[in-house]
Amino acid sequence: MTSASTTTDVVRGISARRWRFPRHVAVFLAPALLVYTAFMVYPLLDSLRLSLYSDEGAFVGLANLRELLPGGSLSSSFWNALGNNLVFFAFHFIVQNPVGLLLAVLLTQHLLKRGKGTYRTLIFSPTVLSVVIVGFIWQLILSPLWGVVSTPLLGLTSTALPTLSLMSVWQFVGIPMMFFYAVLVGIPEDLIEAARVDGANGWKIFWKIIFPLLLPMLGIISIITYIANLNAFDLIYSVQGALAGPEFSTDIMGTLFYRSFFGFQLQSGSTAMGATVATAMFVVILLGVLVYLFGWAKRVETYEL
Amino acid sequence: MTTKNVAHHGSGRARRGLSKATIYGILTLYTLLAIGPIALIVMNSFKTRRAIFDSPFSLPNSETFSLKGYETVWDRADFPRYFFNSFTVTVLAVGLVVVFGAAAAYALAEYRFTGNTFLTLFLAVGVMIPIRLGTVSILKLMVSLHLVNTLWALILVYTAMGIPLAVFILAQFFRQVPRDLKDAARIDGAGEYRVFALALPLVRPGLAAVAVFTMLPVWNDLWFPLILAPGESTKTVTLGVQVFLGQFVSDWQAVLAALTLAAIPILLLYVIFSKQMLSGITEGAVK
């Protein structure tokens, strides 16, 4: 009797908790929401707002943004940086995914008896280093002074951007490798065995069974990479400086943002133009996310295993 | 029976496609590509200037061994301070992300209250949008709070940056904590804070994953130290190395030594915790 009434009390307590906003919920949420709102959400919204004002604080509407469009003062820099940035991403997409997948597939082979953990650990190790360190490591190795490579790959407008892109791929290939690995080890053995019994060969099993199961993860990796690439700065700044040389051939959105905001040499810094470039980056990232959500995630089937 | 077995084995070999040698061969080659450049830098940092250029691929021996690069770094840059700064910022930011993130994730996963969905979405936005886009206003904010060139500027920004993903991951973990357990504690008269304290140890793998995901970007970041705390007394290792390398570009011994100094601690930590880290990534990926 007593226990029954206690239980109903608890049940009532739970259902009552459902519809109010009790104090303990506020206490749990407050610290995270305060810091997040004050130092992330507010600055992001405020940056969007600042892009509509001049440096003197006058409302100018979309006039700042128009400077990025053809005919505007920042137009050629902006489109050059955006183009370079998309090339930077394309290198990641085209090189990082197949290499990461190949490594993940090799790591899940039954014939690989010993050393699986060691291979994984070592291949992933460049990922934990700072981009600055990776940039300088490769800068030294590729330096014609050292003579390991005789062509100044980072000094030519034609090769600098591909070289920097591949340096970044070298560093981060461990991430797609681990993500694909996580999916591969989750595929039930029975599924593969069943296909094998039906006479499918390794190649066919990979393309008809394993690959479709990897597609959702390929989408996730690609959108994470896209956002990270559009946000990149450290590598270019460390290796080529804020002017992203030679002749701006490695200028990407992050370095353009930095120069627009702080100014560099002949270019003077501007809060308004910094905020405007940030707004443009926001739009470009948003477009990518929309393409991912509606062009990819909606069409690719996710299978429950 | 016998024929069947033979057929099975025969097609088995064909099916595999990849031989053991190929698997080990490709993995070993790629491993060398991954660690070779790092090893090259570390190795040459212990050599004389002459040996660095004459024989970059050989190990230092009694004739070519030199610590001159490290002496230059020690004299010209305050690396102990840079490490102390990076350590302080990383530990405090990760600590705050874990504590604040766990509390918020618990609230969102455990209670149904008005605004739950809205707050979940509000936080999810932060997973997708890079905080760097708000830099202009972050700098203005830090100037008005008199926090520029203090470690607190970095700690607050990194805490804000880490919270969305932490809440997202930890909420998944908290949803798996059995309800019976929490209700049993409530029947025994435990308050909501006590129930939270009971649930917390059960999501330890999630807390570890969050700590790893938060730690690396904080330790390795160049952007915010460069903009919010570029002063000599607040430089982090990443910024300190970047500035030092820029100044000593032509002193190869010093550059190699600085790179080694900056890379070794994080690599050591990684080697010690790599199992937890990689399984954290694998779990985070599937969630």
**pLDDT per residue over A121-175, tens digit each?**
999 999 999 999 999 999 989 988 887 788 899 999 999 999 999 999 999 999 9
Q: Evaluate the omega torsion of the peptide bond into residue B217 and state whether it is cis, within 30 degrees of 0.
A: no
* Contacting residues of B for A20, CB less than 8 Å apart: 113-114
Q: Do B259 and A102 touch (CB under 8 A)?
A: no
Distance CA(A275)–CA(A46), nearest Å, equals: 9
Q: Considering chain B, what is the average pLDDT of its residues?
A: 89
Distance to chain A for B62, nearest Cα, Å: 22
On whether the B77-247 domain is CATH 3.40.50.720, my answer is no
pLDDT at B135 over 90: yes
Q: Does A136 touch chain B (CB under 8 A)?
A: yes
Distance to chain A for B3, nearest Cα, Å: 16
pLDDT at A9 over 50: no
What amino acid is encoded at A173 in this protein? V
**What pLDDT, on the 0 to 100 scale, is given for residue A136?**
92
| pLDDT band at residue B186 under the 50/70/90 scheme | very high
Q: Does A114 touch chain B (CB under 8 A)?
A: no
Q: Mutate which of B136, B181, B195, B267 to test chain A, going by most A C-beta atoms within 10 A?
A: B136
* Contacting residues of B for A25, CB less than 8 Å apart: 107, 111, 113
Please say whether the beta carbons of B267 and A125 come within 8 A.
yes
Distance CA(A212)–CA(A228), nearest Å, equals: 25
| pLDDT band at residue A51 under the 50/70/90 scheme | very high
Smallest Cβ distance to A130: which of B14, B238, B252?
Answer: B238
Tokens of B106: 């618990």
Distance CA(A277)–CA(A254), nearest Å, equals: 9
**What pLDDT, on the 0 to 100 scale, is given for residue A268?**
80
Architecture of domain A66-297: Orthogonal Bundle (1.10)
Digit-coded pLDDT (tens) for B48-73: 999 988 888 889 998 899 999 999 99
Cβ contacts of residue A304 below 8 Å, gap of 6+?
none
Q: Considering chain A, what is the average pLDDT of its residues?
A: 89
Q: Does A38 touch chain B (CB under 8 A)?
A: yes
Digit-coded pLDDT (tens) for B38-47: 999 999 999 9
**What pLDDT, on the 0 to 100 scale, is given for residue A84?**
97
Smallest Cβ distance to B245: which of A7, A136, A230?
Answer: A136
A207: nearest Cα among A304, A99, A105, A94: A105
Q: Do B263 and A133 touch (CB under 8 A)?
A: yes
pLDDT at A8 over 50: no
| Domain limits, chain B | 2-68, 77-247
Mean pLDDT across the stretch B108-119?
A: 91
- Residue A31's Cα: distance from chain center in Å? 27
Distance to chain A for B29, nearest Cα, Å: 10
Distance to chain B for A132, nearest Cα, Å: 7
| pLDDT band at residue B284 under the 50/70/90 scheme | low
| pLDDT band at residue B250 under the 50/70/90 scheme | confident
**What pLDDT, on the 0 to 100 scale, is given for residue B7?**
38
Digit-coded pLDDT (tens) for A214-263: 999 999 999 999 999 999 999 999 999 999 989 999 999 999 999 999 98
* Contacting residues of B for A117, CB less than 8 Å apart: 275
**What pLDDT, on the 0 to 100 scale, is given for residue A21?**
78
* Contacting residues of B for A122, CB less than 8 Å apart: 31, 34-35
Smallest Cβ distance to A40: which of B34, B131, B286?
Answer: B131
Q: Does B267 touch chain A (CB under 8 A)?
A: yes
Buried-state track A26-41, b at ≥16 Cβ within 10 A, e below 16: eebbebbbebbbebbb
Q: Do B104 and A42 touch (CB under 8 A)?
A: no
For chain B, give the DSSP string: -HHHHHHHHHHHHHHH-S-HHHHHHHHHHHHHHHHHHHHHHHHHTTB-HHHHHH-TTSPP-TTTB--HHHHHHHHH--HHHHHHHHHHHHHHHHHHHHHHHHHHHHHHHH---TTHHHHHHHHHHHHHS-GGGGHHHHHHHHHHTT-TTSHHHHHHHHHHHHHHHHHHHHHHHHHTS-HHHHHHHHHTT--HHHHHHHHGGGGHHHHHHHHHHHHHHHHH--HHHHHH--SGGG--HHHHHHHHHHHTTT-HHHHHHHHHHHHHHHHHHHHHHHHHHHHHHHHHHH-
